[in-house]
């Protein structure tokens, strides 16, 4: 359980008794700390705007970082030791795409904090029905290496921890980032308790796709109506057949028409409709959802930050319309 900065670390029991006044949002100051070279495509600073738009929400901060043992539920011990020890080799650093910054303590802390925040968001979602992180969705991370600006796979670690703790029996990882969730798909290819669904641009990174439980590759230029039609056809049967206890939702905004790395053609309105559609579909089936921002690329960080907040806008709306704030909290 995280603490609200305004409330100086209330105990878990106190926190449980409090009426949640708004959508739970998870944030850690380390999310936006690392400094990448000017012009780097991965805009960590985008998260800086989060405290402003999250002002109406109860902001939760993860209070502990994941242990090596936790990370090793999905990653190899050698990779965890090399990365956290700042000794990752050049070849694997190159594949990640952050250069020498990968070995810096500040990026190591950021990466661990993101995993912690993703897990906390999922716990909050299980308790309240809905919660959102302000980072998360590092789906290109593999067991023994990172890739494409992803180092540790926060979604996979979170699913594995909750299964290990028997908090859930089945988890759906719904990945709508424009890039295929290849690392997640590989990690759970032989795990029947996790269903991986990836809707992505078929011509986009990664060139070599893995096999998700359900892949929905879309042609370049796919726009709002077609995208939402396909999603509306594909998601409900997955929910009714697999019956997940929790959905981990990677809401990457890189399918946007102006995204630097995208190739699809969704508008702001289309992305907002997507978030409402996903959340409404899951919540109507009484399935908790944890939302993650995923990827998004633009030289204009204000535009990008606004695009990412569409998830939180939609989630706030759903929080109110499903009256989740007045719902009895699930026991821990």
- Whichever of 198 and 309 has its CB closer to Zn ion, that residue is 198
x/- mask, Zn ion, residues 112-131, rule CB under 5 A, reads --------------------
At a CB cut-off of 8 Å and minimum separation 6, what does 221 contact? 263, 264, 265
- Whichever of 75 and 139 has its CB closer to Zn ion, that residue is 139
- For residue 80, give both structure tokens: 């965890």
- Closest separation in Å from C-beta 289 to Zn ion: 19
- Closest separation in Å from C-beta 2 to Zn ion: 26
With both helix axes pointing from N to C terminus, report the angle between 268-284 and 301-321 in degrees, rounded to the nearest 10. 30
User: Cα dist. 161→67, 171, 182, 292 in Å?
Assistant: 11, 11, 20, 17
Do 296 and 307 meet the contact criterion of CB atoms below 8 Å apart?
yes
Q: Which of 198, 164, 201, 168 is nearest to 183 (CA)?
A: 198
Q: Which of 205, 152, 208 is nearest to 178 (CA)?
A: 205
- Closest separation in Å from C-beta 134 to Zn ion: 17
- Closest separation in Å from C-beta 137 to Zn ion: 8
- Whichever of 132 and 251 has its CB closer to Zn ion, that residue is 251
Size of residue set near Zn ion by CB under 5 A:
5
- Whichever of 292 and 319 has its CB closer to Zn ion, that residue is 292
- Whichever of 97 and 295 has its CB closer to Zn ion, that residue is 295
Q: Hey, which residues between 26 and 45 contact Zn ion (CB under 5 A)?
A: none
- Closest separation in Å from C-beta 80 to Zn ion: 24
At a CB cut-off of 8 Å and minimum separation 6, what does 314 contact? 272, 275, 276, 279
- Tell whether residue 209 is a contact of Zn ion (CB under 5 A): no
**Residue with smallest beta-carbon separation from Zn ion:** 295
Active site residue 140: yes
With both helix axes pointing from N to C terminus, report the angle between 105-128 and 154-164 in degrees, rounded to the nearest 10. 50
- Closest separation in Å from C-beta 301 to Zn ion: 17
At a CB cut-off of 8 Å and minimum separation 6, what does 324 contact? 20, 23, 128, 129, 130, 318
Q: Hey, which residues between 160 and 189 contact Zn ion (CB under 5 A)?
A: 177, 179
The H or E element spanning position 10 is: none
- Whichever of 173 and 239 has its CB closer to Zn ion, that residue is 173
- Whichever of 62 and 252 has its CB closer to Zn ion, that residue is 252
Measure the CA angle with vertex 293, ends 71 and 134; round to 5°. Answer: 80
x/- mask, Zn ion, residues 238-277, rule CB under 5 A, reads --------------x-x-----------------------
Contact residue for Zn ion among 79, 185, 295, 314 (CB under 5 A): 295
- Closest separation in Å from C-beta 318 to Zn ion: 23
Q: Which listed residue (128, 140, 200, 308) is catalytic?
A: 140
Query: What single string gives the DSSP state of each residue in 142-209?
Result: BTTB-BTTB-S-HHHHHHHHHHHTTS-S-EEEEE-SSS--HHHHHHTTT-TTEEEEEEEETTSSPSS-
The rounded distance, in Å, linking the Cα atoms of 192 and 167 is 16
Phi, psi of 205 (to 5 degrees): -55, 145
Q: Catalytic positions, please? A: 140
Binding site for Zn ion (CB under 5 A): 177, 179, 252, 254, 295
């Amino acid at each position: 359980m995280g603490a609200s900065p305004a409330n100086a670390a209330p105990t878990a029991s106190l926190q449980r008794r409090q009426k949640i006044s708004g959508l739970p949002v998870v944030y850690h100051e380390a999310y936006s700390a690392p400094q990448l070279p000017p012009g780097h495509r991965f805009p960590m600073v985008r998260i800086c705007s989060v405290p402003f738009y999250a002002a109406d929400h109860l902001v939760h901060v993860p209070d502990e970082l994941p242990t090596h043992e936790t990370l090793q539920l999905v990653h190899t011990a050698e990779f965890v030791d090399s990365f956290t020890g700042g000794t990752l080799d050049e070849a694997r650093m190159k594949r990640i795409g952050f250069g020498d910054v990968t070995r810096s303590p500040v990026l190591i802390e950021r990466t661990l904090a993101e995993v912690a925040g993703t897990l906390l968001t999922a716990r909050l979602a299980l308790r309240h029905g809905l919660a959102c992180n302000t980072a998360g969705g590092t789906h290109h991370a593999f067991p023994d290496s990172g890739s494409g600006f992803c180092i540790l796979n926060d979604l996979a670690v979170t699913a594995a921890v909750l299964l290990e703790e028997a908090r859930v029996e089945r988890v759906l990882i719904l990945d709508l980032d424009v890039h295929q969730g290849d690392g997640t798909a590989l990690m759970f290819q032989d795990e029947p308790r996790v269903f991986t669904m990836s809707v992505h641009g078929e011509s986009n990174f990664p060139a070599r796709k893995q096999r998700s439980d359900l892949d929905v590759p879309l042609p370049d230029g796919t726009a709002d109506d077609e995208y939402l039609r396909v999603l509306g056809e594909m998601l409900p049967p997955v929910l009714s057949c697999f019956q997940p206890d929790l959905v981990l939702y990677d809401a990457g905004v890189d399918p946007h028409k102006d995204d630097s790395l995208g190739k699809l053609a969704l508008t702001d309105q289309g992305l907002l409709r997507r978030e409402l559609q996903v959340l409404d579909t899951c919540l109507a089936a009484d399935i908790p959802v944890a939302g993650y921002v995923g990827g998004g690329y633009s030289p204009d960080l204000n535009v990008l930050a606004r695009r990412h907040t569409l998830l939180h806008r939609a989630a706030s709306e759903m929080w109110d319309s499903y009256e989740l704030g007045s719902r009895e909290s699930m026991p821990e």
